[in-house]
Amino acid sequence: MEPVLRIDALAKHFLLHQQAGVRIPVFDGLSAQVNAGEAVAVTGASGRGKSSLLKLIYGTYRATSGAIRVRNGEEWVDVVAAPPRDVLALRKSTIGYVTQFLRVIPRVPAETIVAEPLIDRGMDPEAAICRARLLLDRLNIPERLWHLSPMTFSGGEQQRVNIARGFAAHFPLLLLDEPTASLDAANRQRVLDLIAEARQQGSAIVAVFHDEEERRLACSREIPLDRGEGSGP
Amino acid sequence: MNPLLSAEGLTKTYGARIGCRDVSFDLFPGEVLAIVGESGSGKTTLLRCLSGHVAASAGRVIYTTRDGKRAALDEMSEAERRLLMRTDWGFVHQDAREGLRMGVSAGANVGERMMAVGVRHYGKIRAAAADWLSRVEIPEDRIDDSPWSYSGGMRQRLQIARNLVTSPRLVFMDEPTGGLDVSVQARLLDLIRGLVKGLGLAAVVVTHDLAVARLLSSRMMVMQQGRVIEEGLTDQILEDPQAAYSQLLVSSVLQV
């Protein structure tokens, strides 16, 4: 299969100016490749930078050095070097990201939050909402909640809204940060099914799973963060 | 694609005092750029230079007009600049009283901007004003009331309606939610966000409130002492600020 993501000699250090200039290394010299249709788990002990790696790929964290190349159609875009405009375009068309927690916007209903990535791509809002409802239904969010802002939803419901949003549009590269963390067994299975379907449609997936069993079910390979990083080259 | 608005080395000094220094950036159609920084950092001066309210001491602002021509603001005639401000651009002031005509009704405030671009049919103006008032959630039966009788939040929404009725492509906003109650702010922000997204507007938003920047913008510039010290994606600057001052700003926000 064709590569979708190529990480080369990636280093990330945090420099905390407000805390006596302390320098916190996260990793150094990290290289990895992820192909279309493949699901790869980022593994490592707590604090080794699993979520940080997803944020670096999405451009939310700024890399210290190295390159993160994402295929966008026929081109490769280096998230580390690309101007904001190109990263935003990449997020619209190519990189989907299911964060650990849903960022709720007051007054925006659940179905609109889910439909937004489709509307942003120019889909007719009515069709986008229709697709959003199908996903919310599939993820067991009761219909009476679709028109409400998820502000008052439970943690598990918010997370499912977040997952529905991540899977609403087809993304060639999907970043998933503990997508099943606060879900019951039935909903967990639905998320694993969605992941499997996305892979069949050719999405490359980079995921952080807390649970080893789920990781094994969802992913075929690992990017381990426990060896060699943090200590420098 | 051409940028909609470009700043090239924009500098404004007041005698020895620096308003803003050597600011350059491109804003593309549909992009929302937030300019953040504390009071006195030069962000409002920059906004006033960008929008042609004050003349820059050095550098220039270039705008792509609807016919695709790139024109420097300081090379336009006064009439051309005024037309631009009335049609293609909007400006939302922090204090709605600066952006509204307080002596005429709400409906007239919206209608007036249409008349300025040559609409003359009373029925059309009235219908468009009513439509825009409802889009900013002002009850229809308040159309003939004076803005003096409006609450702060309603005035701000009226100011937005007045600005958007001519379908501008670019809106400048100076602390659009400043001075309003938090609950009123949330409603206004959500409304602005919906309108900007739905209409595909480009906007430059000056704010000292990082939550406003997070909600409205995709790109951000951090200013300190008149200079841009950091720029990038909004989420990147809020979650992984690089400059010492940006880190201070972000870490100073109280967690609720």
| pLDDT tens per residue, range B79-115 | 888 888 888 999 999 999 999 999 999 999 999 988 8
Closest CB to B233: pick one of A17, A18, A84: A84
Q: Which residue has the higher pLDDT, A194 or B2?
A: A194
Query: Are the beta carbons of B218 and A16 separated by less than 8 Å?
Result: no
Distance of CA B141 to the CA centre of its chain: 28
User: Quick check: B161 and B113 in contact, CB under 8 A?
Assistant: no
Q: Is B124 left (phi over 0), alpha (psi -120 to 50) or beta?
A: alpha
Instruction: Check residue A230 and give its pLDDT.
Output: 41
Any CB–CB contact under 8 A between B31 and chain A? yes
Q: Nearest 5°: CA angle at B192, between B249 and B189?
A: 45
Bridge-partner residues for A43, per DSSP?
A: A224
Any CB–CB contact under 8 A between A14 and chain B? yes
Bridge-partner residues for A192, per DSSP?
A: none
How far is the CA of B100 from the CAs of A189, B108, B110, B116, B122, in angstroms?
56, 10, 9, 14, 20
| Cβ partners under 8 Å of residue B78, min gap 6 | none
User: Which residues in chain B have their CB less than 8 angstroms from residue A18's CB?
Assistant: 244, 247-248, 251
Give the ipTM of the model, two decimals please: 0.91
Which H/E stretch holds residue A175? strand A173-177
Any CB–CB contact under 8 A between B243 and chain A? yes
- The rounded distance, in Å, linking the Cα atoms of A48 and B116 is 61
User: Quick check: B110 and B132 in contact, CB under 8 A?
Assistant: yes
User: Which residues in chain A have their CB less than 8 angstroms from residue B192's CB?
Assistant: none
- The rounded distance, in Å, linking the Cα atoms of A116 and A120 is 6
The mean of the pLDDT values for chain B is: 91
CB environment A86-100: b (16+ within 10 A), e (fewer): bbbebbebbbbbbbe
How many residues can be counted in chain B? 256
User: Which residues in chain B have their CB less than 8 angstroms from residue A59's CB?
Assistant: 233, 235-236
- The rounded distance, in Å, linking the Cα atoms of A124 and B34 is 28
Bridge-partner residues for B137, per DSSP?
A: none
| pLDDT tens per residue, range B23-55 | 999 999 999 999 999 888 999 999 999 999 999
Distance from the first to the final alpha carbon of chain B:
42
User: For each successive 10 residues of chain A (233 residues), what is the average pLDDT?
Assistant: 94 92 92 96 91 97 97 95 95 95 86 95 95 96 95 92 96 96 91 96 96 92 73 35
User: Quick check: A75 and A17 in contact, CB under 8 A?
Assistant: no
- The rounded distance, in Å, linking the Cα atoms of A87 and A127 is 26
For residue B171, which of B154, B195, B139 has the smallest C-alpha distance? B195
Q: Mind telling me how many Å the CA of A17 is from chain B's nearest CA? A: 5
Q: Mind telling me how many Å the CA of A189 is from chain B's nearest CA? A: 31
Any CB–CB contact under 8 A between B211 and chain A? no
| Cβ partners under 8 Å of residue B211, min gap 6 | B253
Query: Are the beta carbons of B28 and A105 separated by less than 8 Å?
Result: no
> E-strand spans in A36-169?
39-43, 65-72, 75-78, 95-98
Residues 47-86 of A with CB under 8 A from B: 55, 59-62, 84-85
Any CB–CB contact under 8 A between B236 and chain A? yes
Closest CB to A108: pick one of B190, B218, B231: B190
- The rounded distance, in Å, linking the Cα atoms of A205 and B209 is 35
User: Which residues in chain A have their CB less than 8 angstroms from residue B244's CB?
Assistant: 17-18
**pTM, 2 dp:** 0.92
Any CB–CB contact under 8 A between B28 and chain A? yes
Name the band, by pLDDT with cuts 50, 70 and 90, for residue B118: confident
Q: Report all structural domains of chain B as residue ranges with CATH numbers, in order of start.
A: 1-88+170-256 (3.40.50.300), 97-167 (no CATH)
Instruction: Domain ranges for chain A, please list them.
Output: 38-60+84-224
Q: Which residue has the higher pLDDT, B15 or B242?
A: B242
What's the CATH code, domain A38-60+84-224? 3.40.50.300
In the structure encoding, which two tokens stand for residue B156, read together? 């701000």
For residue B87, count other CB atoms closer than 10 A to its CB.
17
For residue A22, count other CB atoms closer than 10 A to its CB.
10
- The rounded distance, in Å, linking the Cα atoms of A87 and A102 is 21
